[in-house]
C-alpha cells in the first residue's frame, strides 16, 4: 500500500496492486490485505507478532547484541549512520525480533524479520539473535518459527555476514537432531543469503500469499541472462508448483495453520510427567568474537582491487589442474542422481600421500569456450546436489573431504531458480555443519557469496594468497551502494575480501603462499604449496572422533554470531 504520511498516522492508503483508495482502519481490520484485490502489504515485525501470537504472550529475548561495525565499512554514507537511521525509522534495535510466545496455547520460540530495517539484511547481530532464539527453543524443547523478510546478507559486514548463514543453519541442525519442529514462513520478499540458509532448511516451509523468494533477485537475473522472466516468477504459487514450499497460506489463515502444525508436533512427542529430555547436543557455547579489521590496507600492501583481478585471471589453476598436480589417482564421479550433472562442479575420489579422500570443487576453465561450457564455475542446483551426494558418500566410507572453492557465485539463471537454487545451497550448508568426517576447504580463486559457502563450511578454511572471499562482488556492491559500478575498486577495499583481512577476522585459518607473482605464473609451485597446506591441516583432524569434529566445527562458526562489540570505534 502506498502513502506519504507515517503508516500509523494514515487515514487512507492506496493499494499497490489495484490502486484502490482504502480506509486505513478497514485495511488494518483486514490484516493489511486489500479487500478489493487481495494484495498482501508488507508488515513490520511488531505487527506480524500481534497477528500471530496469543495476546500478551510474547517475551523478547533478554539480551540484545551490542552494535556492530566489524570491518569499518564506509560507502557514500558510513555504516553506523545507516544503522542509526534504520533504528530511528523503525523503532527497532535490529532487523529481527526474537523471543518466546504461545500460539493457540502452544509454546514456541520465534524470530520475525523486518524488511524496513536495512532491507531485513542478515548481519552479525541478526544472526546472533536468531541463533539465540534457536538455542532457546532447544533449551526449552519447543518448536522454532522463523518469519523471513530479507534482501539477503548485509554487505556492510563483509564475509562475516556470509558466515551467519552457517551459524544459524547449524542451530537449525541442532533442533533437527533433537527432534524439534522448525517452521519457516516466507514473506515478501525473501532473497539471497537468508533464502539460501535458514529460510529453506527447516522441516516445513510455508509461503504467505503474495510472497516472493529466490536466491538471486529478478533484476540480477535479467541483467545476467538478458531474458524476460516468466509470469509469476519466484512468487508463492511459482514456488509451490516447483516443489519448493509445503503450502501457500493467505494471511488470514496463517495463524490457524501454524497453530495446527504446533499442535501436531506436540501430540507427536508425548512426554510423561517427570521424564527427562532425550540426549541431544547441548547449545554450543559462544566464544570470543574474532578481531576487528581496521580501515588499513591489507597487511601485504596489495590493493584489494588488484587482488580481485588476480583471483579472476584466466590462467589461474582450476580445480582440475590441482587434481592433476596436487593430488593422485583422481577418479571423477558424475551426477546428482536426480536428473543433472552440473559441469561447474567436479568431484570424485583421489589420494594424498596414499590416503584416499573425496575432493570436490568448482571448475571454471581457461579459454572462453571452457568458461562458457562450465558456466564460469557458477554451480546450478544439480551441482550443489552432486557435491552433497559426494560429501555424504565420503562420510559413509569414512573418507575426509577436501573442497576447492573458485566461483563468482551460484548460477543466477531462471532454470536454477525453478530447480530450487536457494534450497540446494541451504541443504549443503546444513549438511556440512554435521558431516561426521574431516573437511578442509581451500579458497583458490574467487569465493563468491553463498555459492562459495556451500563448499566452505569446514573444520579448516584455507585461502590462497591472491584469492578473494566476499559476501558480494565489488561490482554488485558498487551498483547498490555507490552511484555507479565504476566504484568497484572502492567497494573492494570496503568489503575486506583479501586473505590478510579475512585471516585477521578469523574467517580463514591459514593463508597459502603463492609464487612470487601469482599462481598462474608457476602452477606447479602453486600446486605444491596447496598440497603441503592441505596435508598439514588435514593430518591433525584424522584421528579425532566424529562427535569432536562436529562439535569443534560448530564452535568455529558459532563465534561469528558474536562478532560485535566495541568494534565500531576501533574500526574507525
Rg (CA), the chain: 23
Structural domain count, the chain:
3
360 and 329 within one domain = yes
Specify whether the CB–CB gap between 536 and 335 falls below 8 A.
no
Whether residue 210 lies inside any domain: the answer is yes
519 and 372 within one domain = yes
373 and 231 within one domain = no
Task: Count CB neighbours of 450 within 10 A.
Answer: 28
148 and 93 within one domain = yes
Strand stretches in 40-181, DSSP E:
59-60, 96-103, 106-113, 144-150
122 and 2 within one domain = no
Whether residue 202 lies inside any domain: the answer is yes
Is beta strand 144-150 parallel, antiparallel or unpaired with respect to 182-191?
parallel
Whether residue 331 lies inside any domain: the answer is yes
Strand stretches in 385-508, DSSP E:
401-407, 439-448, 460-464, 468-470
89 and 138 within one domain = yes
Whether residue 566 lies inside any domain: the answer is no
Q: What is residue 286's predicted lDDT score, i.e. its pLDDT?
A: 45
Q: Dump the DSSP string for 350-376.
A: EEETTEEEEEEEE---SSHHHHHHTGG
Q: What is residue 243's predicted lDDT score, i.e. its pLDDT?
A: 80
Whether residue 120 lies inside any domain: the answer is yes
354 and 447 within one domain = yes
47 and 37 within one domain = no
341 and 231 within one domain = no
The Cβ-side half-sphere exposure at 331, using a 13 Å CA radius, reads 5
Query: Quick one: the chain helix, strand, coil %, rounded to 5?
Result: 40, 20, 40
Q: Dump the DSSP string for 73-94.
A: -BSSSBHHHHHHHHHHHHS-SS
Whether residue 240 lies inside any domain: the answer is yes
Domain residues for 313? 305-555
438 and 383 within one domain = yes
Specify whether the CB–CB gap between 432 and 471 falls below 8 A.
no
Query: Tens digit of pLDDT per residue, the chain (572 long)?
Result: 444 445 555 687 777 767 677 777 777 777 888 777 778 888 999 999 999 999 999 999 976 666 678 888 888 889 999 999 999 999 999 999 999 999 999 999 999 999 999 999 999 999 999 999 999 999 999 999 999 999 999 999 999 999 999 999 999 999 988 889 899 999 999 999 999 999 998 888 899 998 999 888 888 888 877 788 888 888 998 888 878 888 889 999 999 989 988 887 776 554 444 433 433 444 444 444 444 444 444 545 678 999 999 999 999 999 999 999 999 989 888 888 887 889 999 999 998 998 899 999 999 999 999 999 999 999 999 999 999 999 998 898 889 999 999 999 999 888 888 888 999 999 999 999 999 999 999 999 999 999 999 999 999 999 999 999 999 999 888 888 887 768 899 999 999 999 999 999 999 999 999 998 899 999 999 999 999 999 999 999 999 999 999 999 998 988 886 544 434 333 33
pTM equals 0.84
Which grid cell is 88? 530511528
Q: What is residue 489's predicted lDDT score, i.e. its pLDDT?
A: 93
Q: What is residue 226's predicted lDDT score, i.e. its pLDDT?
A: 79
Q: What is residue 9's predicted lDDT score, i.e. its pLDDT?
A: 57
Specify whether the CB–CB gap between 127 and 201 falls below 8 A.
no
In what helix (H) or strand (E) does residue 330 lie, and over which residues does it extend?
strand 328-332
479 and 430 within one domain = yes
Spatial separation of the C-alpha atoms in residues 571 and 567, rounded to whole Å:
6
* 87: nearest Cα among 126, 116, 44: 116
152 and 98 within one domain = yes
Q: CATH code at 534?
A: 3.90.226.10
Specify whether the CB–CB gap between 193 and 168 falls below 8 A.
no
Whether residue 479 lies inside any domain: the answer is yes
Whether residue 117 lies inside any domain: the answer is yes
* 124: nearest Cα among 193, 76, 176: 193
120: left (phi over 0), alpha (psi -120 to 50) or beta: left
End-to-end CA distance of the chain: 39
Specify whether the CB–CB gap between 319 and 407 falls below 8 A.
no
Specify whether the CB–CB gap between 420 and 240 falls below 8 A.
no
Residue where a domain terminates, one of 217, 240, 266: 266
Q: What is residue 561's predicted lDDT score, i.e. its pLDDT?
A: 66
Amino acid at each position: 500500500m502506498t502513502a506519504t504520511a507515517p503508516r500509523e498516522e494514515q487515514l487512507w492508503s492506496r493499494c499497490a496492486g489495484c490502486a484502490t483508495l482504502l480506509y486505513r482502519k478497514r485495511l488494518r481490520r483486514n490484516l493489511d490485505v486489500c479487500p478489493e484485490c487481495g494484495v498482501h502489504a508488507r508488515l513490520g515485525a511488531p505487527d506480524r507478532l500481534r497477528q500471530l501470537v496469543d495476546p500478551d504472550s510474547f517475551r523478547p529475548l533478554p539480551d540484545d547484541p551490542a552494535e556492530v561495525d566489524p570491518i569499518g565499512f564506509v560507502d557514500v554514507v558510513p555504516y553506523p549512520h545507516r544503522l542509526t537511521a534504520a533504528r530511528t525509522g523503525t523503532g527497532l534495535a535490529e532487523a529481527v525480533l526474537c523471543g518466546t510466545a504461545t500460539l493457540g496455547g502452544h509454546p514456541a520460540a520465534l524470530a520475525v524479520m523486518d524488511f524496513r530495517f536495512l532491507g531485513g539484511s542478515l548481519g552479525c547481530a541478526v544472526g546472533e539473535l536468531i541463533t539465540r532464539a534457536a538455542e532457546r527453543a532447544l533449551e526449552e524443547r519447543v518448536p522454532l518459527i522463523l518469519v523471513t523478510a530479507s534482501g539477503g546478507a548485509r554487505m556492510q559486514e563483509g564475509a562475516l555476514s556470509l558466515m551467519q548463514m552457517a551459524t544459524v543453519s547449524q542451530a537449525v541442525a541442532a533442533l533437527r537432531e533433537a527432534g524439534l519442529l522448525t517452521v519457516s514462513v516466507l514473506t515478501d520478499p525473501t532473497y539471497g543469503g537468508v533464502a539460501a540458509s535458514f529460510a529453506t532448511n527447516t522441516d516445513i516451509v510455508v509461503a504467505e500469499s503474495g510472497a516472493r523468494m529466490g536466491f538471486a533477485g529478478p533484476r540480477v537475473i535479467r541483467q545476467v541472462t538478458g531474458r524476460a522472466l516468466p509470469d509469476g516468477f519466484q512468487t508463492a504459487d511459482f514456488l509451490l508448483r516447483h516443489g519448493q514450499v509445503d503450502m501457500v497460506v493467505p494471511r488470514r489463515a496463517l495463524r490457524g495453520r501454524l497453530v495446527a502444525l504446533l499442535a501436531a508436533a506436540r501430540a507427536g512427542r508425548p512426554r510423561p510427567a517427570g521424564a527427562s529430555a532425550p540426549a541431544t547436543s547441548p547449545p554450543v557455547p559462544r566464544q570470543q568474537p574474532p578481531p576487528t579489521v581496521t580501515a588499513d590496507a591489507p597487511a601485504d600492501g596489495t590493493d584489494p582491487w588488484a587482488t580481485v583481478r588476480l583471483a579472476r585471471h584466466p590462467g589461474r589453476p582450476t580445480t582440475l589442474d590441482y587434481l592433476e598436480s596436487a593430488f593422485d589417482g583422481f577418479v571423477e564421479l558424475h551426477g546428482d542422481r536426480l536428473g543433472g550433472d552440473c559441469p561447474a562442479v567436479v568431484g570424485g575420489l583421489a589420494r594424498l600421500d596414499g590416503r584416499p579422500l573425496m575432493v570436490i570443487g568448482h571448475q571454471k576453465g581457461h579459454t572462453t569456450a571452457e568458461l562458457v561450457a562450465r558456466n564460469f564455475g557458477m554451480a546450478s542446483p544439480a551441482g550443489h546436489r552432486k557435491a552433497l551426494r559426494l560429501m555424504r558418500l565420503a562420510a559413509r566410507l569414512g573418507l575426509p573431504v577436501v573442497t576447492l572453492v573458485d566461483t563468482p557465485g551460484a548460477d543466477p539463471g531462471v532454470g536454477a531458480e525453478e530447480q530450487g537454487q536457494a534450497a540446494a545451497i541451504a541443504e549443503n550448508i546444513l549438511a556440512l555443519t554435521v558431516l561426521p568426517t574431516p573437511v578442509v576447504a581451500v579458497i583458490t580463486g574467487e569465493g563468491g557469496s553463498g555459492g562459495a559457502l556451500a563448499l566452505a563450511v569446514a573444520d579448516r578454511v584455507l585461502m590462497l594468497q591472491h584469492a578473494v572471499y566476499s559476501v558480494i562482488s565489488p561490482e554488485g556492491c558498487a551498483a547498490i551502494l555507490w552511484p555507479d559500478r565504476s566504484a568497484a575498486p572502492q567497494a573492494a577495499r570496503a568489503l575486506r575480501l583479501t586473505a590478510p583481512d579475512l585471516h585477521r577476522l578469523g574467517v580463514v585459518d591459514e593463508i597459502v603462499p603463492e609464487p612470487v607473482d601469482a599462481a598462474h605464473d608457476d602452477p606447479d609451485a602453486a600446486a605444491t604449496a596447496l598440497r603441503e597446506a592441505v596435508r598439514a591441516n588435514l593430518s591433525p583432524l584424522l584421528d579425532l572422533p566424529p562427535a569432536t569434529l562436529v562439535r569443534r566445527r560448530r564452535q568455529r562458526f558459532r563465534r561469528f554470531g558474536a562478532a560485535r562489540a566495541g568494534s565500531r570505534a576501533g574500526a574507525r
